[in-house]
Structures are given as C-alpha cells and as structure tokens.
Structure 1
Amino acid sequence: MADKGGRARGRLLFFPLPLQGHITPMLQLADIFQSKGFSITIIHTKYNSPNPSNYPNFTFIPISDGLSEKETSELSVFALASILNVNCLVPFKDCLSGLLSAESEVHITCLISDTVLHFTREVADSFKLPRFVLRTSCIGVFRAFAAIPLLREKGYLPIQASRLEEPVPELSPLRVKDLPVINVPNEEMFYQLIAGLVEEARTSSGVIFNSFEELEQSAIAAVRQEFPAPIFPVGPFHQYSPAASSILVKPDESSISWLDKQAPKSVIYVSFGSIAAVKENEFLEIAWGLANCKHTFLWVIRPGSVHGSKWLESLPSGFLDLLGVRGHIVKWAPQLEVLAHPAVGAFWTHNGWNSTLESICAGVPMICMPCFTDQFVNARYVTHVWKVGVQLENGLERKTIEEVIRRLMEGEEGEEIRNRVEDFKEKAKFSLGGGSSYESLESLISCISSS
C-alpha cells in the first residue's frame, strides 16, 4: 500500500490490552494509520479477541494468553494485566520471531503496544524493533501515574480516609480522593504495575495519546517538560474512524428508534461502560433518582453491572410499568450514535476516557459518577478544569440524583455548561482539520517512517 504521494509504506504491528476500553482506541489508531498508507497487523490474546471480519484489510494474529475461561471470568482488571505480562512474553517473542524472519515484501516498521503490556519492551528490544506505545487514558491521568513515587514520598499514598478532601498541589486540581489508585490486596504489586507502565512509555520511541492540545494544554506541556520520550496527542481517534466495529458486545439498535421519538436535548443517556459495576442498593437509588426526576432517559444496564444480579431482577416490582415510555432500558447501546443524536441532552457516565472524550466531541454535558482508578481524575477535569459537567459525590441518594439532573437539564448553570462543551466540540473538530492533532499525526508518521 502507498501513501497519497505514491510512496510505499511499511507494516505496523499493534498489540492491545484485551479490554474494551483499550481495544477500541487501539483499533481506531490502526485504522488511522491504514488510511495513511500503512499495512496493519493486529497481535492479540485469545481472551476478548477482536472480530477480524470487521477489519478485512487488517491481518490478525492470535497468541496464547494461558488463561482458562474460568480464570478470565474471576480475574480483576489489575490481576488480568499482571498475569498477561507474565504469560504472553514467550508467545509474543515466538510470534515476532516468525514475523521478522518470514520472507515478506513489506518491511515491519515498528510495534505500537499498550503501555500496560510491559513485556513488549523486552521482546521488541531483543529484535531491535522500534516500539511506540499507546496510552489509553487522558494525559492528566498519565501525569498522575508518573508522579506516584513523589506522591508516596510526600505521604499522599497510600490514601488515608482522614485526608480524602485535601488538595494535591503538585497535581492541581486533584484532591487526595481523586488520585488514580485501585483497592487491591497487594498495593506494592499495583505500584509496580504502574511503574512498569510509566517505564514502558519512558523508554519508548514515542507515546501516543487519544487527546488533543486544546483540551489538555497544561498537562501536555508538563509531561513534555518532565518526560524524555516524544509525546503525540493525535486524538480524538473516533473522529477519524468509527468505533462500532471494535465493540465486543452487540449494541441494541432500538436505542436509536426510541430516541427518534424524543424531543431535542430532552434525554439523559445513562451508561457506566463495559467493566464498572454498582451495588444493589446503589442501583435502586439510581433507578428511583431517574424515575423521580421526571426527565426521559435511555439506560444501559449491562448483564453483570449490578453485583449479585444477572440483569433487571434488582429493579423494584412494577418499576417498568411506572416508567411507561419515559424510560428505555437496553443491555448495550451504539454509544457514538446515541451521543450524536439531537434528543440527547446529558450523559450520566462512569468517566472512562473513551466515554468522556466521546461526550465532549458530541457536545453533550456530563453527570460524572467515577467508579475506579483513572475515572476519578477524568471526572475532576470534567467538572473543575473544562467545566463541562457536574459530579455525584459522597454516595448515591435518589434526592441528590434528582437535584444533579435538574441542575444540568434545567436552568442557567446547565446552559453555561452546555455552551462550554459545544466550544470544546468545535475545538476538537479544528484540531483534526489542520490544527494541533493533524500536525501531531504528521509528526508521528514522520517519526515512525524514519525509525
């Protein structure tokens, strides 16, 4: 394949972490490079493997992850990442050895791997293969991860309940409660995983981010000053390439036909992503908060998204009859289409980075309910830096939920937030159309082609 100038370009290898929030941006990035004339090979684990038929122009190569179906159903995200970093080293090395020794007209230019997959550095270095990394969080989160040794030294970590509301001046506007840590049995193993993530980026040929300068200007400037590897914010990826074909769960298309019947900006879209789960009592408060606010809503309730429940059995008896046509519940929704729909007036989200960025780019204000790790940082930036949403804090109560929904959907504050998010929507478009992300992508392509 050749670029627009007729020059043949090489083959790029991509290796995503096998979680929806990581696979989606990696495949979007691969699609961007394919449109620029590169050939694409996706190396992936057998667990959560993407569907090759959705990307007929890509080559897909599965490698063994050593995981049984029982193990994958029981493992936490943290444990999964730790095990893959051990189990995949030898299979990946064997795969790369075969690819690099095979006779091929297409030169393998470099590897682009997820920063969480630490083992790829050792393998790529052994073959002298240039390695770029994709960090799937916002740049503010990456900066916080890189600061963890300093945060431990200064006593912010491990987090103490008595200090939750304290500001962290080194990472303004974060508070102690916003720091991207996760409750795990072994804190040292978590710190080691994050240290590996940062080192994976530090020793790479470049770090690619799904973000853009106009959104994260100060965080980008700080990381560029503190970090040896070049930084390439080339997002938002989904604006180049649709995400639907990378989704691991089939969306319910009735979401769109239901939205078609609703008034402009009248619907609250509620979705907490592919991993986050809530307790049954929290689920009930969410249900009654939505019912009592009197606004229409589209609610994604993923099987397994309520602890101890398979699907809707935790809803109160008669709840669906009470709602009538004012609420629509699905197992999964085509999120980009939903956010782009004129009927959607707010997004109640867990603030995973993909969802946060998609909401900003669609000009939809957010109700923030972060559940773990980087989501707390994203929510703090949404509410206190970009000021394009409001946050539910200190537990879930139906009255608080009603109040927050009304703040956003009715009155002056909601209108101001809506105007700000529309402004960022326009900035995102500009960044791709000859602005900062366009220039950063051109710089990245040049860097990869000369590596």
Structure 2
Amino acid sequence: MESQTETTVRRQRRIILFPLPFQGHINPMLQLANLLYSKGFSITILHTNFNKPKTSNYPHFTFRFILDNDPQDQRISNLPSHGMGAFNRLFVFNEHGHNELRHELELLLALEEDEQVSCIITDALWHFSQSVADSLNLPRLVLRTSSLFCFLAYASFPVFDDLGYLNLADQTRLDEQVAGFPVLKVKDIIKLGFKSSKDPIGLMLSNMVKQTKVSSGIIWNSFKELEEPELETVCRDIRAPNFLIPFPKHFTASSSSLLDQDRSFFPWLDHQPPNSVLYVSFGSTTEVNEKDFLEIVHGLVDSKKSFLWVVRPGFVKGSSWIEPLPDGFVGEWGRIVKWAPQQEVLAHEAIGAFWTHNGWNSTLESVCEGVAMILSPFMGDQALNARYMSDVSKVGVYLGNVWERQEIAKAIRRVMVDEDIRENARVLKQKANVSLMKGGSSYESLESLVAYISSFSF
C-alpha cells in the first residue's frame, strides 16, 4: 500500500484539468480528476460558464471559469446554447482563447505558495492549449474522450478526402470498405458529417491530431484488451506515452450529469426478472423527427420485451418531451424517464441489453458492465464506435438509423437472446476487470501515469 507520506507529497502537487464543455467530454474528465485526487494530487478545474458543472458535487476541487466571462463578447453571446450550433464555441475558443488561457495559467502558476502545478491535462479538442502550455514550459497531457480506433480514423482524414469519401457523389460506393480500415464502410465516414478535411470541423480535427501527437502524453478512456491492435499502431506512430484507463471501472459519471436524474423507476426495475429489460438511451444531444419517434415506439411494443427508455426533453423535434406518444403506450411493459443514472442502470441485473447511439462513454460503460448492445449511431465518432463493437468486438447488433418498427423489433428480439453476442459481452467485461487487478494493463497504466506526473520537475 501507498504510504501517507507519498500521498502528502503528491497533495503538494496540483494538476489543472480543462474539459470541453459538453456532457460526453465533461464526464470522463471529472472521472479522471477524481481518480487523480484519490492518488493524492490537488485538482483545479478550468471550465466555461457554458454547461457549467455542479461544483457543489466536487467540494474537493477548485473551479475557475474562463473564456466566456464577458457578457458583452458578441462572438460568444450570439452563439446558440443548444444543439450542434453550440459546437461553434469550440472554433471561437480555439481561435481566440490563447491570451485568456495563458493569463489564467500564469495566475495559477504564481498563486500557490505550498503547492506547485505539475501539468495541465486538457481535452484533446482544446488544441490551442498546446502552444499556451509550451510558452509557459508547462507539460500538457491530453485526454482523448473517444476510442483509439476513432483517433486513427481521424488521423487518416486527408487520405479519405483524396479518395473522395468525404464528398461522395457516387452512391454505389456507400458499402465499399474504407482503405486502411476494412471494418468501416464509406457510409460510416460520410456519417461523420463534413465534406472536406479542410472545412472547419476537418481542420479542427486535423489540429487536434497534430497537437495530440506533440503533447507530453495521451490518456485514453479505454483498456488495452479492448483495442490492442490500435494501441500498437498508436505507440508506433506517436512518441508521447499512452495511458489506457477505463474510467467507468473507477467512478460513475452521475455526479457530473448536466441533467437531473430520475430514480423513481428503480422499484419497478428491481422487480423485473434478470436480463429481461432493454435499456434505451440515445445520449444528450441526438434528435429524431416525430415519424421516426413513433416507429421506435411501435418497434418497442412489437418486440414484446420490457424496456426502460430515456427520452431527453427535446429528443423529438418540435416537441418539448413525449407529446406524440400514443395513449396507453407504456403500461406495465416499461418506463419512460427524462434522464437516468446510466452506469447504475447498466449494472442492474434486470438489464438484458442496451440500445445506444454509441457515444464512446455509453459504449464503454456497456462494455464494462458486460451488456450486449443494439447499435444506432447518429453522428460523428458514433458510427466508428458502432462498427467496431459490431464487427471487431462482436458485442452488438448493428441497426443503424433504420427507423422501421419491424426491423427494430427484430433487432431487439435478437440481442436479447443471441448467446454468442451476450457471451462476447461477458468475456469483454471480464477482461476489463482483470486489467484492473495488480499487474493488469489498466492497473499498470494508472500507476505509470501517477509516476509520470510526479516526475515533472517544478
């Protein structure tokens, strides 16, 4: 066991963490912060006021709010506060945030008399922070909140662009295998949602890849046994050390939720037979139209399986919540809630499968709990995650965005009984558990990260 002296010494070292202000990025960063705090480091969180986390849930951290503190800054005040429009904040901050971040870091570096800042850990998409850290001789590690597989695909975007994948005119090529990534289809690349590696999103991802490669280290929310071939490629191509740690195995993300979580369904769930309930959640930003929503509704009914369905307010376009829902739909078959403590749900013995949008957090949480998946990616890296889970890990049924009740019901019935898929999911959970044991890959990765950060000279 670690000595009290070692912990006290590290408590004199402060780590600054800088998450991207979106739910899927906040969760792993605050899980990492809790993990590092448990190892003895003091923690400061830099954050925007946009999507401000509930600081009262983290009394052991120091929070400082930056980049959008000026209400008169029209670059910020005119941006939408929801949907993909809010994504424009990334472009604004990456382009104009250098001076403010540098000023904040200078204050922090000079502030503490009994502590010293060891490093800054930023979301990889805050690519502008690398030049700021370099100017202050401050080591910058990055947290990559998606998979290694996804990162390698992003790094290949110029090649995809040259091959015509990003702006495809020939629709007959949609099911063509992607060069260098045979598990992917061209339609998966198209789902990423931009037309060129040189459009704003393409350039941002290119800068992310470039600045990640020159960082002082990369922290991945994953584990070696899940993405071993990809880890070998990353280690060959990038000199920075890599640390793979499955955060859901250490801390839940419930305390960092930006939405209030409903727990009223747990008495009902507790009374369901083991492996009998389908959990459905499509994340914090996805949307469907009313027609597709009703196809999901009827697919759930026609499957004749019990379900717990998270329908976030705004999920149905043009509706505040579930107004289009037919009368008497739910009954005793299931429950509909606005938000739920997902990791706790996935760990419940009644859950038999998870119908997901395949955001990486949701995907990894399902893997860590050994729950088979129905895979319905909407956008971005979700399509890459879904293909990997379907065709490499083989722990899910790929449905895509096929909003047809018969296909939905068929996929539900299959995933709830397919023993090959369910066994693959159980084996992957066991591998994650073993990786955490002393001598395991994730255990050693965490120990190496702690030692690495501790080695930075003041």
- Interval of TM-score (by shorter of Structure 1 and Structure 2): over 0.9
Does residue 64 in structure 1 map to residue 67 in structure 2?
yes
What is the aligned length?
444
Q: Answer whether contact 1:159 1:177 (CA < 8 A) is retained.
A: no
Q: Are the structure 2 counterparts of residues 211 and 3 from structure 1 closer, same or farther at C-alpha, using a change threshold of 3 Å?
A: farther
1:440 maps to what in 2? Answer: 445
Pick aligned residue for 1:13 from 10, 13, 16: 16
Q: TM-score, normalised by structure 1?
A: 0.94
Q: Answer whether contact 2:167 2:195 (CA < 8 A) is retained.
A: no
1:250 maps to what in 2? Answer: 260
Q: For residue 180 of structure 1, report the CA deviation from its aligned partner.
A: 7.2
Q: Answer whether contact 1:267 1:346 (CA < 8 A) is retained.
A: yes
Any idea what the Cα deviations from partners look like across 1:321-353, whole Å, max 9, x if unmatched?
Answer: 143111200000110111011111010000000
CA–CA separation in structure 1 for the residues paired with 2:181 and 2:426: 27
- What amino acid is the match of 1:355? S
Q: TM-score, normalised by structure 2?
A: 0.93
Pick aligned residue for 2:291 from 272, 277, 281: 281
What is the Cα-based RMSD across aligned positions, in Å?
1.9
Q: Secondary structure at the match of 2:353?
A: strand
Q: Answer whether contact 2:7 2:39 (CA < 8 A) is retained.
A: no
- Equivalences for residues 336-351 of structure 1 within 5 A: 336-351=343-358
Does residue 125 in structure 1 map to residue 128 in structure 2?
no
CA–CA separation in structure 1 for the residues paired with 2:362 and 2:51: 20
1:380 maps to what in 2? Answer: 387
Any idea what the Cα deviations from partners look like across 1:338-383, whole Å, max 9, x if unmatched?
Answer: 1011111010000000000101111110001000010001100111
- What amino acid is the match of 1:361? C
Q: Secondary structure at the match of 1:8?
A: helix
2:434 maps to what in 1? Answer: 430
Q: Are the structure 2 counterparts of residues 419 and 99 from structure 1 closer, same or farther at C-alpha, using a change threshold of 3 Å?
A: same
- What amino acid is the match of 1:210? N
Q: Secondary structure at the match of 1:76?
A: helix
Greater shift after overlay, 35-44 or 3-12?
Answer: 3-12
- What amino acid is the match of 1:100? L
2:230 maps to what in 1? Answer: 219
Q: Secondary structure at the match of 1:60?
A: strand
Does residue 306 in structure 1 map to residue 316 in structure 2?
yes
Q: Answer whether contact 1:116 1:197 (CA < 8 A) is retained.
A: yes
Q: Answer whether contact 2:402 2:408 (CA < 8 A) is retained.
A: no
Does residue 370 in structure 1 map to residue 377 in structure 2?
yes
- What amino acid is the match of 1:416? D
Q: Answer whether contact 2:192 2:381 (CA < 8 A) is retained.
A: no
Greater shift after overlay, 57-66 or 247-256?
Answer: 57-66
Pick aligned residue for 2:113 from 104, 108, 114: 104
CA–CA separation in structure 2 for the residues paired with 1:261 and 1:4: 48
- What amino acid is the match of 2:314? G
CA–CA separation in structure 2 for the residues paired with 1:180 and 1:140: 17
CA–CA separation in structure 2 for the residues paired with 1:376 and 1:91: 35
CA–CA separation in structure 2 for the residues paired with 1:442 and 1:288: 49
1:48 maps to what in 2? Answer: 51
Q: Answer whether contact 1:2 1:37 (CA < 8 A) is retained.
A: no
Any idea what the Cα deviations from partners look like across 1:374-425, whole Å, max 9, x if unmatched?
Answer: 0001100111001001011363100000111111113xxx111111101111
CA–CA separation in structure 2 for the residues paired with 1:73 and 1:56: 28
Q: Secondary structure at the match of 2:447?
A: helix
Q: Are the structure 2 counterparts of residues 331 and 87 from structure 1 closer, same or farther at C-alpha, using a change threshold of 3 Å?
A: farther
1:27 maps to what in 2? Answer: 30
2:399 maps to what in 1? Answer: 392
1:202 maps to what in 2? Answer: 213
Any idea what the Cα deviations from partners look like across 1:265-312, whole Å, max 9, x if unmatched?
Answer: 110000001111112211111011001111110110000111221101
Does residue 419 in structure 1 map to residue 423 in structure 2?
yes
Q: For residue 229 of structure 1, report the CA deviation from its aligned partner.
A: 1.9
- What amino acid is the match of 1:37? G
2:101 maps to what in 1? Answer: 92
- What amino acid is the match of 1:443? S
User: Runs of 5+ in structure 2 lacking a partner?
Assistant: none
Does residue 192 in structure 1 map to residue 197 in structure 2?
no
Q: Are the structure 2 counterparts of residues 348 and 101 from structure 1 closer, same or farther at C-alpha, using a change threshold of 3 Å?
A: same
Q: Are the structure 2 counterparts of residues 92 and 394 from structure 1 closer, same or farther at C-alpha, using a change threshold of 3 Å?
A: closer
1:142 maps to what in 2? Answer: 151
- What amino acid is the match of 2:423? N
* Percent identical: 48
Q: For residue 159 of structure 1, report the CA deviation from its aligned partner.
A: 3.8
Q: Secondary structure at the match of 1:215?
A: coil
- What amino acid is the match of 1:34? Y
Any idea what the Cα deviations from partners look like across 1:64-110, whole Å, max 9, x if unmatched?
Answer: 32533863236535423212213433321221111112242101000
CA–CA separation in structure 2 for the residues paired with 1:219 and 1:132: 20
CA–CA separation in structure 2 for the residues paired with 1:183 and 1:286: 24
1:231 maps to what in 2? Answer: 242
